[in-house]
Structure 1
Amino acid sequence: MGALEGRRVLVTGASSGIGAAVARAAADAGAVVGLLARRADRLAALADEVGGHAAVADVTDATAVTDAVDRLVRDLGGLDAVVAAAGTLHLGAVGETDPQRWREVFDVNVSGLLATAHAALPHLGGGSSFVTISSMSGRRVPTAAGGVYAASKHAAHAVDETLRREAGPRGVRVTTVAPGFVATDLLAADEPGREDVRSFRERMHALGLTPEHIAAAVVHVLGLPPEVCVVEYALTSTAQQA
């Protein structure tokens, strides 16, 4: 029996990176998974791979998220856990950045998280879990160029603290998973030709944990007894620490 045998787990941001790794790890641990993301082709391929269910939606569209979550809950026959893994990152100092970039970061990392929670909470009962993939930048501001991203992740931590007060009394466990560098393609589509972005991406891949490391942490949290709630799970690679 896997650690999550028979559990019904919904993952947002599931088409790549940490979200896809969580979906695979949860399925390997015995869960049946529901996958939510924007990229239909990747989502369908992953659903076929893990034997899960897929619903295409952009987390910045609250109505679409609610419809997708409701559909996945019907397909899964209920809901035991949500992993909110959708996220985005843009680099740039406040005084040098197009304000549209700020909106994109907050729309996904904060409004998208709120939309996911709003849609999922009515389906979560005692012993269930809501896990947010945040960042160690949610507790500090590492650089000026990462300040807007850090602000969005500070907000994500605040959302989770709010959810603990809102849903915790009825037994919903809310956990913030806060990694340091992770070797993903989060910056792959950012502005071409920017040396700072290229350098940062190289550092992420050279020093970062893998998405599978984060997925293992999530499965560990989800597999704990229902009377145990991990409030925050912060982790970094030893290379970044050094």
Structure 2
Amino acid sequence: MATHLITGAGSGIGAAVARRLHARGDDLVLLARDAGRAKELAGEFPGARTLVGDLADPDRLSWAFSHQTLPDRLDSLLHIAGVVDLGRIGDLTPKTWRLQLDVNLVAPAELTRHFLPQLRLERGHVLFVNSGAGLNAHAEWGAYAASKHGLKALADSLRWEEKPNGVRVTSVYPGRTASPMQVKVHQQEGKEYDASKWIDVESVATTVLTALDLPRDAEVTDLTVRPGG
């Protein structure tokens, strides 16, 4: 039975992945931003453990974890949480930049640092749910794309560094996915939202599990998922 630490399990892709892993009997450790959210996640996923830590404040993650019991072993660390706030470069404030960089890039780096010892012991897997914006940047996506381009660099560097320790590293780049984040994006774009046009979260979850379940003789490094039809 594998143990997975998941960020973003409360909605969208993260919730879909957590449901699939929970249904097959794997152990889950779910990161929540506060105690209230942790209680909600524990109710949604009976038997799962929770950790409290705010990804928007990565400087305090170490302090937060020092007051909690961390898992002794981990087979995977799944970075799925993320935030997006669109805007033209000429209009974006430092606060907007920092939030997206902290949640989407600095916090994943800090979480990885904390849990690498457990992952090395199990020859585990670090998986980053990135974005199509991690490969291409378009108008008004500058801050978000910068955070996701940085996340790609983090994953690529980590892969080289941890290869001798047997830790596998995967980046998944979904296109537009039918999720609460996509609803927000459409609101910011002033467009009507139609979930049927975009990737179902279950399809992205299937992609994530495919990478996790690949036999040890191979490693998926990068997977791009695009809306079909």
Q: TM > 0.5 between the two?
A: yes
Indicate whether 1:228 and 2:224 are aligned.
no
Q: Closer, same or farther in 2 for the Cα pair 1:151/1:213, shift >3 Å?
A: same
Q: Which residue of 1 aligns with 2:115?
A: 120
Q: Residue 222 of structure 1: SS of its match in structure 2?
A: helix
Indicate whether 1:238 and 2:228 are aligned.
yes
What percent identity do the matched residue pairs reach? 33
**Which residue, out of 211, 221, 241, partners 2:201?**
211
Q: Any idea what the Cα deviations from partners look like across 1:41-73, whole Å, max 9, x if unmatched?
A: 443233233321111211243464345499464
Q: Which residue of 2 aligns with 1:3?
A: none
Q: CA RMSD in A?
A: 2.4
Q: Any idea what the Cα deviations from partners look like across 1:147-195, whole Å, max 9, x if unmatched?
A: 22111111100000011011121100000011000111126668xxx96
Give, in whole Å, the separation in 2 of the partners of 1:137 and 1:217: 18
Q: Closer, same or farther in 2 for the Cα pair 1:88/1:214, shift >3 Å?
A: same
Contact 2:183 2:193 in 1 (8 A): no
Give, in whole Å, the separation in 1 of the partners of 2:22 and 2:40: 14
Indicate whether 1:26 and 2:17 are aligned.
no
**Which residue, out of 83, 92, 96, partners 2:91?**
96
Q: Which residue of 2 aligns with 1:129?
A: 125
**Which residue, out of 145, 170, 176, partners 1:150?**
145
Q: Any idea what the Cα deviations from partners look like across 1:66-108, whole Å, max 9, x if unmatched?
A: 454994643xx41111101121101111012223111111111
Q: Residue 124 of structure 1: SS of its match in structure 2?
A: helix
Offset at residue 211 of structure 1 (A): 2.1
Contact 2:2 2:27 in 1 (8 A): yes
Offset at residue 7 of structure 1 (A): 0.2
Q: How many residues align?
A: 226
TM-score (norm 1): 0.84
Q: Which residue of 2 aligns with 1:139?
A: 135
In the alignment, structure 2 segments of 5+ residues that lack a partner are none
Give, in whole Å, the separation in 2 of the partners of 1:227 and 1:60: 37
Contact 1:69 1:120 in 2 (8 A): no
Contact 2:56 2:99 in 1 (8 A): no
